Chains A and B, each alone.
Chain A
């Protein structure tokens, strides 16, 4: 993305030709990364950006083809959440992040595939079929932001937006060998992000490099009065110089290197940590005693919020409606039976159960308490270190047909990514090697709330000394 911006200024590339090339790449890719491609809109936006560049506008996003996860609302452009129930939904408004991107002249090239309503880790639950991993089309790109990750990795766009509720930016970034940030909760407005689990959801930038990711992050963050959970406060631009690692204390939690972590992933992550040490960082072992409850807590809180957030898809005002039913109750039942896929239904049922009278205290209330203990674990850990390093996912990308009948095993893959969502802290994944099967491996970095710049800077420095992010599928 930054390369593209530089070439626009050197006039050896125009936004129009870049958009044409990306559109052509999308057509040829065969990855099913996009649900909707906005060819006409993209060409118009490219022409507008070209004019602004000619007028001397220096904006880094001008004319940059950006792909947007299809759970982020785009005015007059279909936003489906990869669900049958919203397959014809055209929002009359832009999400806050889209307004910001448009203002800065970015080209919204299309809407990328995801697990239905962002519920999943493979894009397999999409009503539009799974996306393929550009490194090996028989494998999953991860999810739920699998379409965005695959699009960035395969060069179908220059950068992309995803959303991350329990790892949905970082896990596909890891599987596809790109950089993806789950920002501090509240640093990016959720206005226009179709809610899955409101207290965990955060839009995240995805790019080829940490610098691309940082530039996109700066472009979309900031206070928005339309999102009460968005943080006021000052937003200074993220430095693109990288982080001087001398004296930086990196916490390495033992719990992230325990049972279930595959050998090749562990090897690469340990290599990455040793590289940080070579660059002057100091590693400290840390304890996060409540992390082991993270997956359990997440699979109560996220479905509980989801069961409520998805109640609005009732066939009454927009989206799918089964109207030939005999009464209101049947209309509700048939619309939701046909409109939602299995995974969404599974989570609605889980969440409804967890919130039911008589179970609320045992499930939701207790989960909320443990959630605050996990946040406290991180607060304590960050008194001893500046950031935390570990694997993003215990494994590399697996076959699209694997684990389809085993949701529980898939849930457990989120074990390293979920805690950052529960604690609201920033976390990113960046490429740090390749597995025995040749698939990319992700390193996860985490920092205290609103220290997104620390992990972005550390990732930049890491990438200044490695080439993993430059290897193309």
Chain B
């Protein structure tokens, strides 16, 4: 065990699933033509004013309640002043003093050990635009479609001590955001972004070491790699007797190292002050109650329920609750066919394979719960073999036909009829006298050979279990 321990705090920026931006009516849709979802307000034109989208407050309260935070009753916004081309007003409207939520927690589990991570604050703010650089010539463009998209910034206490804990926290937080319908959690599109503050100290010490801030870690894997790298770097600096420099660093995923972005001296003075263009938002108890009543089941509760109600192993419950859509899908299947473990297996293996092949998710896969259940029940009643079923699910995903229809088209229904199989088996026995003699002489390992021949002869349609029984029976005589 290292003589040092890491102290990590995380800041997550989650884009919200509101239809319109936080201070104007523009669409928040991702991927539009540059600068099409813009108006004078989100372009920071002279004389225009922000108007708060109250849905953002709804979403903030929802997350705050899910993380057991206390909700600020009088919310004011602040201006964070700095110059950057993607920041059209020259300031970001955010919250500074008295954030919407504070003092909550999130429980994570790492290698079976439970840990409670403190949530220091959650506040509302607007996103900036995006600089686009033309590499072929010295020219840059700005796309303001993202300017004014609502964000929640979620800041932990410095309670995390390893990259594993950090990733576990991020995974769980992302799941919660998705289950709440607050964010789509899409890391590639930047809906879920993470920065980390990190320091190390002698194990057991109460003091904090000098911290660095890490940015640009855009996947769980990179969070893990970047934190591990940075912890090692801090430890080796301290072991060499040198001092860690307080600075902001960028993770370079291709080089696998952190690069200095700016030192403490170069850090901005944001000159926060209360935003005079917005009035304080009073949050009455009734508002909080309304949100509380509409709270969906949280992922941790759903996981526990899957284990309890469906008798699933914790691993299955965990996998099936990775997205709310997946969990809903599973529950719809189970309501149609009482075979919770079979259905879980099919979703986790074959359906997941199909989704990966198609590059889609549960909502886009084209296999409805009824279709999947139709397939599973054919397998369970031995009408088709497992092998056939794998072929059927692939066809199902592309064609929109039911398992019944596909099996009929393929003529692939499993043959379990004993008379029909008896004919096939006797032909095979005749064609393979040597093996038959050896079997009769006691070399029963050859059973597999005969069943294989039956499967071949029936083009895979024979029920292998029934075929095996018949081989055994006929070679005994």
Q: Compute how far the CA of A355 lies from the CA of B79 in the bound complex, rounded to whole angstroms.
A: 11
Interface string of A195-212 (1 = CB under 8 A from B): 101110000000000000
B89 and A360 form a contact (CB under 8 A): no
B49 and A227 form a contact (CB under 8 A): yes
A192 and B90 form a contact (CB under 8 A): no
| A198-B277, A228-B49 given; 15 more Cβ-contact pairs under 8 Å | A71-B47, A91-B40, A91-B47, A190-B49, A191-B48, A195-B47, A226-B48, A227-B49, A228-B50, A229-B279, A307-B81, A312-B88, A312-B89, A316-B85, A316-B88
**B449 contacts partner chain A, Cβ-Cβ < 8 Å:** no
**A92 contacts partner chain B, Cβ-Cβ < 8 Å:** yes
A residues within 8 A CB of B307? none
Q: Compute how far the CA of A355 lies from the CA of B90 in the bound complex, rounded to whole angstroms.
A: 15
**A128 contacts partner chain B, Cβ-Cβ < 8 Å:** no
B residues within 8 A CB of A225? 51
**B278 contacts partner chain A, Cβ-Cβ < 8 Å:** yes
Do A314 and B43 contact each other (CB < 8 Å), given the known contacts A229-B279, A308-B273, A355-B273? no
B residues within 8 A CB of A198? 276-277
Q: Compute how far the CA of A228 lies from the CA of B51 in the bound complex, rounded to whole angstroms.
A: 6
Which chain A residue has the least Cβ–Cβ distance from B77?
A228
B279 and A91 form a contact (CB under 8 A): no
A residues within 8 A CB of B276? 197-199, 229, 305
A192 and B47 form a contact (CB under 8 A): yes
Which chain B residue has the least Cβ–Cβ distance from A311?
B90
- Which of A308, A318, A328 contacts B45 (CB under 8 A)? A318
Which chain A residue has the least Cβ–Cβ distance from B46?
A194
Do A355 and B271 contact each other (CB < 8 Å), given the known contacts A311-B89, A316-B142? yes
> Which residues of A come within 8 Å of B, CB atoms?
71-73, 79, 81, 86, 89, 91-93, 95, 190-195, 197-199, 225-229, 304-305, 307-308, 310-312, 314, 316-318, 328, 332, 352, 355-357, 360, 364
**B439 contacts partner chain A, Cβ-Cβ < 8 Å:** no
- Which of B48, B49, B85, B273 contacts A328 (CB under 8 A)? B85
B271 and A357 form a contact (CB under 8 A): yes
Question: What are the 3 closest A-B residue pairs judged by CB atoms, nearest first?
Answer: A311-B90, A355-B271, A198-B276
**Most chain A CB within a 10 A radius of its CB, from B51, B89, B276, B277:** B276
**B428 contacts partner chain A, Cβ-Cβ < 8 Å:** no
Which chain B residue has the least Cβ–Cβ distance from A327?
B138
Least CB distance, B118 to chain A, in whole angstroms: 26
B46 and A308 form a contact (CB under 8 A): no
A73 and B269 form a contact (CB under 8 A): no
Least CB distance, B147 to chain A, in whole angstroms: 11
Interface string of B28-56 (1 = CB under 8 A from A): 00000000000010011111111110000
A86 and B47 form a contact (CB under 8 A): no
In residues 72-102 of chain B, which contact A (Cβ within 8 Å)? Answer: 79, 81, 83, 85, 88-91
A317 and B88 form a contact (CB under 8 A): yes
Least CB distance, A357 to chain B, in whole angstroms: 5
- Which of A72, A73, A314, A357 contacts B83 (CB under 8 A)? A314
- Which of A91, A93, A308, A317 contacts B79 (CB under 8 A)? A308
A95 and B279 form a contact (CB under 8 A): no
B83 and A311 form a contact (CB under 8 A): yes
Q: Compute how far the CA of A467 lies from the CA of B297 in the bound complex, rounded to whole angstroms.
A: 75
Q: Compute how far the CA of A195 lies from the CA of B44 in the bound complex, rounded to whole angstroms.
A: 12
B271 and A314 form a contact (CB under 8 A): no
Which chain B residue has the least Cβ–Cβ distance from A336?
B83
A364 and B273 form a contact (CB under 8 A): yes
B45 and A91 form a contact (CB under 8 A): yes
Q: Compute how far the CA of A185 lies from the CA of B460 in the bound complex, rounded to whole angstroms.
A: 84
- Which of A79, A92, A310, A314 contacts B40 (CB under 8 A)? A92
A residues within 8 A CB of B90? 308, 310-312, 314
B residues within 8 A CB of A79? 46-47
B residues within 8 A CB of A360? 271-273
A226 and B85 form a contact (CB under 8 A): no
Do A73 and B46 contact each other (CB < 8 Å), given the known contacts A314-B83, A355-B273? yes
A residues within 8 A CB of B51? 225-228
Q: Compute how far the CA of A225 lies from the CA of B91 in the bound complex, rounded to whole angstroms.
A: 22
A residues within 8 A CB of B50? 228
